[in-house]
Structure 1
Amino acid sequence: MEQVKKLIARAAINALTEALTNIYWYKAELRSFIMNTISDPSILTKLNWEDYKRNIVSTLVNFLARHQDTYQNDLLKLMSEVCKINDFSHLERVDDGKEKAKIAKKSVEALRQQIKGHQDLIEQQKQQEERRARAYEKSLQVTGVQERLDEIKLEFYKLVGSTNPQARGFQLEKIIKDLFSLFDLDPKASFRITGEQIDGGFTFENVDFLFEGKWQQDLVSIQDLDAFSGKLTRKLDNTLGLFLSINGFSEDAVKAHSTGRRLMILMEGSDIMGVLEGRIDLLQLLLRKRRHASQTGNIYLKLHEIITRG
């Protein structure tokens, strides 16, 4: 059953009309206030600004009130903003200003009393605005992440055709650090490269990881993973490792380190490309690899397996 929307009481509508009529003497000031308060300022073009001020305000407020399914938030926003007005010195500067300010202050106070009966609607509106603000902020963040991913992807593409191992190592180090920073993985500044090997660290879900990367023609061997495992065993018990090999790992290396105490998870070039192309979030990729290693013992879960399993 469709829920019926609660309407703003007629007494509150009348109080808004009275207060909105009295808080400004000049139509230009009134128009500016309304234009900066309601969500659709084009409504103001429907009003006859040559008419008396009270008629202008009545026409506007009654229009909003008749269409509360669309404009109730605008009514509530007008009420809230009018109720915030405490300074009436702008009225005191016109003829008979003290009396005009007194009338305006009294009408605003009357609106404040009426709005007390609509605090539930005011709170709903506040929550809606907060949700919209969070959604907008999130959309900006998502857009920013995607734009930066595209930039890093272009940098990675340039490396693919490089034939200079030293230069490629330096660039790969930068790309990995930029990627980890983008996903708030706190890459440590102590990244070090030797030829095409990168060493460093990052933090994921409050666990410290050592990182090692290789970009070489051959598959990473069991000896390479043995050496990395040795580094990990010399660290604190809760330290894990992430080994990136752009061109993959030998089968015996994966099998040897998928038994016993599993200290590391493995990542290859296709994983990096999956992240850069937006097919998977880096944090989700790490989480799935780590969970799979914990549950099955296999430290080399590949991207296509993650995607096909959903």
Structure 2
Amino acid sequence: MPKIQKISPQALIALKDALSNIYWKKKELRQFIELTMENPYIVSTIDWQENPKSESVSLLIDRMIARQDLYQNDLLKLLQEVSNFNDFSHLKYWDEKGDLTKRAKDCVLKLRNQTKGYFDAIEELKKAEERRENNIEKVKKTIYFAEKLNDLKLTFFEIANNSNHQQRGFQLEKLLNEMFRLFDLDPKASFKIIGEQIDGSFTFDSHDYLLEAKWQKDPINASDLYVFGSKIAGKLKNTLGLFISLDGFSNESTQTSNPVVKSMILMDGQDLMYILDGRISLNEMIFIKKRHASDTGEIYHKIAN
């Protein structure tokens, strides 16, 4: 919480006067104070029955001032609530001449004048502190994002240089899961290795996507896309697909006119590198590829182009 500017002595004196006059009965005044405060225990340390009302109020405020580490918020609450006090109808029973009501209104007005602009300043301090904390949090998130993206890029280099076929699969599975989560595209369930491919699903821009990824050394053939297209066709009508191949796609697969592939988009290792280099987000890439496929019918749109 930001450091609150000191409450002026004039405002505290005005608070004492206002509290002493806004209620006639001590019991009602005490109840008002207890309901206003977050930490009302200190109210019970005052002898409200024996002390005059003004003396009880003065003791209470003085004790709260002495322990502002505990009661600063409650002092501010009392200042604010009493400054906003505007219903004096409860005084009519004891106020035939109207003097009690007039005195109470005058005391509240005096307090209001003493605190004029004070709570606006406090609110601005709080907002400034919130903005500062939000900026710090954004910087932290940006630093974390950049560090995480760099870690994923290092993993990608390991995959590219790894000759162990099985290890490549596990590394790619981990990379894809972490990358999709980093870009807030949480898979519905973690992507899993099945045979020589990774299967999964995710949601983007209100569309459900099936995902398939392969790490074989040869480019993907059209037959692989036909199989994937059949899987997509077996789902709900608006389901789309994202096929990822680290080593790209054959000309045959990208130029096929078979309608079974028209509900998917393709991503290769170079596309992944653009994401991991921070040149484009995963979300933007999927959006651009999908829009290009919708506009041209081409399912393989290289971001580098």
TM-score (norm 2): 0.62
User: Partner residue of 1:157?
Assistant: 157
Query: Does 2:145 match 1:145?
Result: yes
Query: Does 2:8 match 1:17?
Result: yes
SS of alignment partner, residue 271 of structure 2? helix
Moved more, 116-125 or 135-144: 116-125
User: Partner residue of 1:185?
Assistant: 185
User: Partner residue of 1:170?
Assistant: 170
User: Partner residue of 1:271?
Assistant: 271
Q: Root-mean-square deviation (CA), in Å?
A: 3.7
User: Partner residue of 1:236?
Assistant: 236
TM-score (norm 1): 0.61
Q: 1:102 and 1:120, CA in 2 relative to 1: closer, same or farther beyond 3 A? A: closer
Letter paired with 2:265: I
Q: Looking at CA atoms only, which structure, 1 or 2, has the larger radius of gyration? A: 2
Deviation at 1:212, TM superposition (A): 0.7
Q: 1:18 and 1:87, CA in 2 relative to 1: closer, same or farther beyond 3 A? A: farther
Work out whether residues 165 and 195 of structure 1, in 8 Å CA contact, stay in contact via their aligned partners in 2: no
SS of alignment partner, residue 149 of structure 1? helix
Question: Percent identity among equivalent residues?
Answer: 42
Work out whether residues 202 and 209 of structure 2, in 8 Å CA contact, stay in contact via their aligned partners in 1: yes
Letter paired with 2:286: L
Work out whether residues 159 and 171 of structure 1, in 8 Å CA contact, stay in contact via their aligned partners in 2: yes
Q: 1:153 and 1:20, CA in 2 relative to 1: closer, same or farther beyond 3 A? A: farther
Work out whether residues 198 and 212 of structure 1, in 8 Å CA contact, stay in contact via their aligned partners in 2: yes
User: Partner residue of 1:227?
Assistant: 227
Which segments of 5 or more consecutive residues in structure 2 lack a partner in the other structure? 14-35, 47-54, 66-74, 84-109
C-alpha deviations, 1:53-99, integer Å up to 9, x for none? xxxxxxxxxxxxxxxxxxxxxxxxxxxxxx98986959x89xx9974
Q: 1:288 and 1:116, CA in 2 relative to 1: closer, same or farther beyond 3 A? A: farther
Deviation at 1:265, TM superposition (A): 0.8
The correspondence of residues 188-267 of structure 1 with structure 2, limited to 5 A, is: 188-189=188-189, 191-256=191-256, 262-267=262-267
User: Partner residue of 2:24?
Assistant: none
Deviation at 1:118, TM superposition (A): 6.1
The correspondence of residues 60-209 of structure 1 with structure 2, limited to 5 A, is: 89=42, 99=58, 101-102=60-61, 108=79, 114-117=114-117, 124-189=124-189, 191-209=191-209
Q: 1:102 and 1:84, CA in 2 relative to 1: closer, same or farther beyond 3 A? A: closer
SS of alignment partner, residue 16 of structure 1? coil
User: Partner residue of 1:33?
Assistant: none
- Rounded Cα–Cα distance in structure 1 between residues aligned with 2:288 and 2:254: 17
Which segments of 5 or more consecutive residues in structure 1 lack a partner in the other structure? 1-12, 23-82, 306-310
Deviation at 1:128, TM superposition (A): 4.1
- Rounded Cα–Cα distance in structure 2 between residues aligned with 1:130 and 1:257: 56
